Structure 1
Amino acid sequence: MKPLSVSQIRSIVDGELIHGSDNVIVYNGAYRLKQVKNQNTIFFSKTVILDWESLKELFPMVIVTNRKISQNERLENLTIIKVNDVEEAYWKFVNYYRSLFHIPVIAITGTSGKTTTKEMIKHILSGEKTVAATNSSNNSRTAHLQYLLSIDDETDAAVFETAVGAPGDVLRAGNYFKPTIGIITNIGAHHLNYCKTLEAYIKAKGEMAEVLNHSGVLIINSEDKNSKKLDLKNFKGRIIKVGTDPSCHFKANNIQYCKDGMRFNVQFKEKNYSMFVPGYGEHQVYNALAAIAAVNEIGIDLTEAASRLKTFQNLNKHLQVYKGMNGSTILDDTWSMTTTSLEAALKVLNEVGKSKKRVAILGTITDLGSWGYIIHEQAGEIICQNGVDVLITIGEHARIMADQAVKNGLDSKIYSFKNSILVYDILKKILDEDTIVLIKGDMYSKPIIDLAVKIRKKE
């Protein structure tokens, strides 16, 4: 955080100093008490703090509040700023802080590929710039302030994930970050427990256009069927399309699987650039295209971007390849589970597993609410379309995928279990050096994650 004095902050939030000193310097900010982890933090407090004793080790501390302050709260090394409305004061502070920095800020949303695309952008830019970014996939709305305050005078660019758990989430993130470049990687079917319908979910992703204030630059996947349904008629900024279609501004061609990743060419402004991206799958090429388009907007030419992209390290549990039990090959994709990522993973299984017996171990898709049955049926259709030799599902809803795959004509050996207890014994019997296994669940599916570790060959 760029340091600010209490005197400066009082001016920003139109507050009155009722205890402490105008000379205290603030280096951190918090909107929730549990976020106060360091000294010299400004905390916007709406409620009475009951346990001051536990906070004293974090003093000096600055409180912004609209409450009446009792005499026993006027503690040494505690500064108190009184305002009429804490929420209003908070947003004055946020808006002022963001206005201090005139740098490119990239916001990324999408059903799949957000974290990978963000990490690619960060990796490419970090070669010559100081970059503020979301930590891993920690894109919770409660962390927006911390990420905003990670920008300081040394920051050259910032890239943040803006996830959708419910309508309004991208708009709220935009109130903090005010991005100049927005990316929508793709739109599948997820978080329907709060968005209720696919149309509402698409609209929630489309909030990115509003976040850009209908100006700036919006990067989209031209071939993603749900991205084509976005209402962008009022968007007055530039739209950059990435994909394989001739109409794309960044067009990929000659896509090939190779050792540890994908080779492809990018056609941009009538020139061709050779690229390699670590990590398997055509979806990885689309992630790279979005990243390349974004960094190019910031001034990184494609030759330089290609040089840096090839040293990118693919993310943990994102279709990582391991040696498995009995000489088998394991594709560990236990990071997320959506129909979009499932289709991508099955395509990788088929491509990497040519001439091998293909086994898919699949868990439940979460955050679907009343759409759970329908989306798992759609997942079953995807499984049938791509094909596997052995299908193992774990979880009550995951069984729906297996039933639907059979209904659609999948003629394979199928096992469905409520939990993972019996799966290991089956794998011991069916895995060998001519077998490749895709194991897929989300980061909260501990039994599937544990199973993935268990079937990998111990180093």
Structure 2
Amino acid sequence: MEQAGKAVGAIWNDTRQSMEQPSPGEGLTTKFITLGQLLNIVDGTLIRGKKDLLLSSANYGKPKYLRAEHLYFFSIKKSRTDQLNAIRRVGPRAVVIPSSVSALSVPLSTAVISVREPYVAFWRLAMWNWKQAAVKVVGITGSAGKSTTTEMVSAILSQKKPIVKTMGNLNTFTYLPSYLTRLSPRHEYLVLEMGMKSLNNIARQCRIVRPDIGVVTNVGEAHVGSLGNLDTIVRAKQELIDGMNPKGILWLNADNERSRKLSTRNFSGKVYTFGIKNIADIRAKDIEQRTNGLVFTACFDGKSVPFFIPAIGRHNVYNALAAIGVARSLGIPIEQIRKGLAVFRPPRMRMQLVKGSRNRWLINDAWNANPSAMVAGLKSFREWEAKRPHVAVLGDMLELGHLTRSAHQQVGWIAAHLPLTQLITVGKYARLIAQSAIKKGMDPKKVFHYHSIAPLLRHLKQLPDNAVIYFKASRKMHLEKVIRKLKKG
């Protein structure tokens, strides 16, 4: 990583403000950049403003979260009206606008720089700031579990030092500059969830950040529809390994069959494994699902260490093992790891517990779906609060391409052998889950299918008091809307 000995300082985009919900007290930098320095970095034309004006936080194309202290980069892909209205209302310290937008549209109190393309200018600022950074980079990818693993790693590392991490599902190359601009001298770690919508997305990220620590949580069916086949998914995850710091440390899932197709032949760093079933460098045993979370023992370095994570599902133990591996690779003490995992908060809509009306529990696992993740979720939810009635609500799994039919059938076959009170499906493809479950011997009186949300909701409202209801489907099915209708209060 390139260092800058006489850097003026750092400027970063407060992503929590500009992309997610605003968080009071965040975004306060210890150093600044001047308007004149910014002008040189982005290769723009100064329309208005004093070159010694100090700037400390940036916002790219998010007018909803615009603040008076922000440097705002105009997005040509967003509504011009929304952005100009926000700029007039808030009056930020400075704006970077394309030549197609008149400076007369901007309040006179706001400094203005004109460029050909603000997104390119934002990237230039990001790369400038990245060259000032001295952080360890953790890159996490996988077909399932990468968001949870990212949150676990972040919970551990942020116990002692401030970090910058991926927010929500903003995990592709497009959003990378938002994290690079957030880095300041006080940060020690950059934790990036590396998603991909196509080949070369992870590779493009790695060409810039070169992760020091890499994790592939698993290789599964997610995005097979857009990538074509499972071999292409392996190639996409391989991009992380090929793009890492050659002296870095890589963590792989010892129990995931497709992860064995990943090649480490050309990786000169160290390779370690985590797992439950197979021999691994970090291995879990004595796993127990409790009402408030999971307890397990992790065996590594000749030690057996007890851990607790406030999460549902045996599959989350894999995520925790990966997080432990990352932390150990960074020299984090065991007690800090234990504390971080114990206070970690599961990402929204990933096995998220929601209190429903009439003493019901709703398990919101509806962020996205592929057959491996759906099966893991089904098995996990059935183990939680085992004495209650258990109802599974499963919707369409999208982006599976030629695997669509077989994937839904596979889920139905497994659901048929679980002790479910009811199996409810919704959507065009999910009908195959219901049909396959019945063919495999599930009582037809326990299986229901709906084409739309309204009749599904009416059915769910008639379920027994104290039921546990599990929701899983692809994001476009919007099962979270059903969950909101069933929430307590």
**TM-score > 0.5, shorter chain as reference:** yes
Matched, 1:195 2:227: yes
* 1:286 CA drift (Å): 0.9
1:303 counterpart residue number? 335
1:451 counterpart residue number? 482
Separation in 2 of the partners of 1:26 and 1:142? 23
1:309-388 correspondence runs (5 A): 309-321=341-353, 329-352=361-384, 354=386, 357-369=389-401, 371-384=403-416, 386=418, 388=420
* 1:275 CA drift (Å): 1.0
Separation in 2 of the partners of 1:50 and 1:317? 32
* 1:42 CA drift (Å): 6.5
- Between 1:261-270 and 1:335-344, the stretch displaced more is 335-344
Say if 1:81 and 1:248 are closer, same or farther in 2 by CA, change over 3 A: same
Matched, 1:131 2:160: no
- Please tell me whether the aligned partners of residues 43 and 62 of structure 1 are also in contact (alpha carbons under 8 angstroms): yes
SS of the residue corresponding to residue 429 of structure 2 reads: helix
SS of the residue corresponding to residue 193 of structure 1 reads: helix
Separation in 2 of the partners of 1:350 and 1:50? 49
Matched, 1:406 2:435: no
Q: Once the two structures are superposed, what CA deviation does each residue of 1:335-355 show, in whole Å capped at 9, x if it has no partner?
A: 332222211111113322545
Separation in 2 of the partners of 1:349 and 1:334? 13
Separation in 2 of the partners of 1:364 and 1:68? 43
- Please tell me whether the aligned partners of residues 45 and 63 of structure 1 are also in contact (alpha carbons under 8 angstroms): no
2:423 counterpart residue number? 391
- Please tell me whether the aligned partners of residues 126 and 178 of structure 2 are also in contact (alpha carbons under 8 angstroms): no
Separation in 1 of the partners of 2:292 and 2:203? 37
* 1:306 CA drift (Å): 1.3
Separation in 1 of the partners of 2:450 and 2:280? 44
1:421 counterpart residue number? 454
1:253 counterpart residue number? 285
Among 9, 24, 33, the residue aligned to 1:4 = 33
SS of the residue corresponding to residue 227 of structure 1 reads: helix
Say if 1:199 and 1:42 are closer, same or farther in 2 by CA, change over 3 A: same
SS of the residue corresponding to residue 192 of structure 2 reads: strand
- Please tell me whether the aligned partners of residues 29 and 145 of structure 1 are also in contact (alpha carbons under 8 angstroms): no
The TM-score, its normalising length taken from structure 1, stands at: 0.84
Among 252, 255, 275, the residue aligned to 1:223 = 255
Separation in 2 of the partners of 1:329 and 1:64? 49
* 1:64 CA drift (Å): 8.1
Among 204, 211, 218, the residue aligned to 1:172 = 204
Among 23, 45, 49, the residue aligned to 2:52 = 23
Separation in 1 of the partners of 2:348 and 2:472? 13
2:469 counterpart residue number? 437
* 1:441 CA drift (Å): 2.9
Report percent identity of matched pairs. 26
Separation in 2 of the partners of 1:440 and 1:16? 48
SS of the residue corresponding to residue 343 of structure 2 reads: coil
* 1:281 CA drift (Å): 1.6
Separation in 2 of the partners of 1:30 and 1:308? 30
SS of the residue corresponding to residue 111 of structure 1 reads: coil
Give the letter for the 2:451 counterpart. K
- Please tell me whether the aligned partners of residues 18 and 82 of structure 1 are also in contact (alpha carbons under 8 angstroms): no
* 1:197 CA drift (Å): 1.6
Separation in 1 of the partners of 2:73 and 2:207? 19
Say if 1:88 and 1:436 are closer, same or farther in 2 by CA, change over 3 A: closer
SS of the residue corresponding to residue 359 of structure 1 reads: strand
Say if 1:245 and 1:96 are closer, same or farther in 2 by CA, change over 3 A: farther
- Please tell me whether the aligned partners of residues 179 and 211 of structure 1 are also in contact (alpha carbons under 8 angstroms): yes
1:41 counterpart residue number? 71
Say if 1:348 and 1:40 are closer, same or farther in 2 by CA, change over 3 A: closer
SS of the residue corresponding to residue 331 of structure 1 reads: strand
- What are the ranges of 5 or more consecutive residues in structure 2 without an aligned counterpart? 1-11, 13-30
- Count of residue pairs brought into register by the alignment: 452
- Please tell me whether the aligned partners of residues 262 and 278 of structure 1 are also in contact (alpha carbons under 8 angstroms): yes
- Please tell me whether the aligned partners of residues 127 and 180 of structure 2 are also in contact (alpha carbons under 8 angstroms): no
1:183 counterpart residue number? 215
Say if 1:95 and 1:346 are closer, same or farther in 2 by CA, change over 3 A: same
Say if 1:299 and 1:264 are closer, same or farther in 2 by CA, change over 3 A: same
1:239 counterpart residue number? 271
Among 78, 95, 101, the residue aligned to 2:133 = 101
* 1:398 CA drift (Å): 0.8
Separation in 1 of the partners of 2:366 and 2:120? 41
The TM-score, its normalising length taken from structure 2, stands at: 0.79
Give the letter for the 1:338 counterpart. N
Say if 1:132 and 1:278 are closer, same or farther in 2 by CA, change over 3 A: same
SS of the residue corresponding to residue 308 of structure 2 reads: strand
* 1:130 CA drift (Å): 0.8
Separation in 2 of the partners of 1:282 and 1:177? 32
Say if 1:342 and 1:73 are closer, same or farther in 2 by CA, change over 3 A: closer
- Please tell me whether the aligned partners of residues 369 and 472 of structure 2 are also in contact (alpha carbons under 8 angstroms): yes
Say if 1:335 and 1:17 are closer, same or farther in 2 by CA, change over 3 A: closer
Q: Once the two structures are superposed, what CA deviation does each residue of 1:100-132 show, in whole Å capped at 9, x if it has no partner?
A: 111112122222222222222222222211111
Separation in 2 of the partners of 1:380 and 1:278? 29
1:30-179 correspondence runs (5 A): 37-38=66-67, 41=71, 43=73, 54=85, 55=87, 58=91, 60-61=93-94, 63=96, 78-80=111-113, 92-139=124-171, 141-179=173-211
SS of the residue corresponding to residue 206 of structure 1 reads: helix
Separation in 2 of the partners of 1:283 and 1:128? 27
Separation in 1 of the partners of 2:172 and 2:33? 26
SS of the residue corresponding to residue 105 of structure 1 reads: strand
* 1:455 CA drift (Å): 4.0
Give the letter for the 1:260 counterpart. N
Give the letter for the 1:283 counterpart. H
